[in-house]
Copies of this chain bind each other. A is one copy, B any other.
Amino acid sequence: MAPDTTIRVGVRTRSLAEPRLQYIRQLGATDIFVDHADVDEEPDEFNDRDARATLAVGRDAIPTVADLEAAKERVEAAGLTLTGIQSLPYSLYGDIMFDREGKEAALEQITTLVRNLGEADIPILGYQWNPRGVVPMRTGSAELRGRAQGTAFDYDEIDDPDALAPGLDREYTEAEFWDNYETFLETVLPVAEEAGVEMALHPVDPPVIESMCGVPRLCRSVENFEKAMDLVPSDNHGLKLCLGCFSQMGEDVTDVLRTFGERDQIGFIHFRDVVGTVPEFHETFVDQGNFDTTEVVETLDEIGYDGVVIPDHVPAMTDDTDWRHRARGYTVGYLRGVIDTVQST
């Protein structure tokens, strides 16, 4: 018998169809983060293309309280908990990020979503301040053990990293981007506090780089996360702490966990790892990257973390499905084995 764990393992999924939820429950995971995945807008290999029985979240597609409650019931019927929305699509924050027309409508939609989540008692809204779909995220792939494939990034493979992104007619400064982000926080965080919802901020990916294609990359370092958390102080603001992104920064991820854990600013954790750091790295299996998985889980145990860890990107394995059932199952199994062992001793 496994010990009762306080560090829970969750899974992100767009599909809430019964076979998907059954499979996740079979893995011994407990929590679901539902993926917004506007596949038309941001198609990439991490998206989940199975769109049946899902909860759409996008521009002009804000789920009502009834929609959220129905999704929650569906998840609970499978023996799982609907703990949060994994992320917001770029369509919902892009206009705010760039202080463009449409910003007011976007803020209105996001605050409506936050209120609805609160009413439906879904406690976490993940988000990012990342120019996804505007600026390149990866440049290639790497061969892992057994010829599995992981995504790769090499800054030198980008032809012209200073060429303006499509749709931009000028570069943006970091100062104005912080201003735009502050507007977002000033509008959304008070609503989150009232609603009892925690906003959880993901790093830019790749991090470290200050600006690409004319777009400043705010959430690129520990220092900037501290700034982001201090900008509009709120107990309802924390990190979607992607271990892979902090590993890509070259940070000691256990220090990062201690820093933000001490301040109670870890919303939830993306558990993935890479080999190498910016400007050149590739993703890999969770047991083969820069950090020691056991040491990370020991740190989580020491700081008393009682939230959720989820596998994020997972490698492409032989004959796997689009959603990567095999790779996700392997990763959940590995994490649960480490967690059960750390927490039993």
Question: What is the interface of chain A, defined by CB distance below 8 A to chain B?
Answer: 1-3, 19, 21-28, 78-79, 144-148, 285, 287-295, 297, 315, 317-319, 325-326, 329-342, 344-345
Collect the chain B residues with CB atoms within 8 Å of residue A19's CB: 318-319
* Contact flag A337-B326 (CB < 8 Å), given A25-B145, A318-B22: no
Given contacts A333-B329, A333-B334, A335-B337, contact A344 B145 (CB under 8 A): no
Q: How far is the CA of A80 from the CA of B23 in the complex (A)?
A: 29
Counting chain B CB atoms within 10 Å of each CB, the highest count among A146, A290, A336, A342 belongs to: A146
Cβ-defined partner of A330 (8 Å) among B27, B79, B287 = B27
Q: Is the CB of B289 within 8 A of A1?
A: yes
| In the bound complex, CA of A275 to CA of B102 (Å) | 58
The 7 A-B pairs at the shortest CB distance, nearest first, are namely A337-B337, A333-B333, A25-B146, A26-B146, A341-B341, A333-B334, A330-B333
A-B contact pairs, 28 of them (CB 8 A): A1-B288, A1-B292, A2-B288, A19-B318, A21-B146, A22-B147, A23-B326, A24-B146, A25-B146, A26-B148, A26-B315, A27-B146, A28-B285, A28-B288, A287-B337, A293-B340, A294-B340, A319-B325, A326-B329, A329-B330, A330-B332, A331-B333, A333-B337, A334-B337, A337-B341, A338-B340, A338-B341, A341-B341
Which of chain B's residues has its CB closest to A326's CB?
A: B329
Q: What residue in chain B is nearest A285 (Cβ atoms)?
A: B28
Q: Chain A contact residues: over half helix, strand or loop, or mixed?
A: helix
Closest to A28 in B: B287
- Kindly provide the distance from the CB of A130 to the nearest chain B CB, expressed in whole angstroms: 28
A342 vs chain B, min Cβ distance (A): 6
Cα(A32)–Cα(B318), bound, Å: 17
CB contact between A145 and one of B26, B292, B319 (< 8 Å): that residue: B26
Residue of chain B at shortest CB distance from A343? B294
In the assembled complex, the CB of A327 is this many whole angstroms from the nearest CB of chain B, namely 8
A340 CA to B289 CA, complexed, in Å: 14
Chain B: minimal CB distance from A314 (Å) = 11
Other than the given A19-B319, A26-B318, A79-B146, 9 more pairs (CB < 8 A) read A2-B294, A22-B146, A22-B147, A23-B318, A319-B325, A330-B330, A333-B337, A337-B340, A338-B340
A299 vs chain B, min Cβ distance (A): 13
Nearest residue, chain B, Cβ from A338: B337
Min Cβ gap A340→B in Å is 6
CB distance from A26 to the nearest CB of B (A): 4
Residues on the B chain within 8 Å of A330, using CB: 26-27, 329-330, 332-333
Select which of B145, B288, B326, B341 is within 8 A of A325 by beta carbon. B326
Q: Which residues of B have CB within 8 Å of A332?
A: 330, 333
Chain B: minimal CB distance from A48 (Å): 15
Q: How far is the CA of A3 from the CA of B287 in the complex (A)?
A: 9
Q: Which residues of B contact A291 (CB under 8 A)?
A: 1
Interface centre among A289, A290, A332 (most CB of B within 10 A): A332
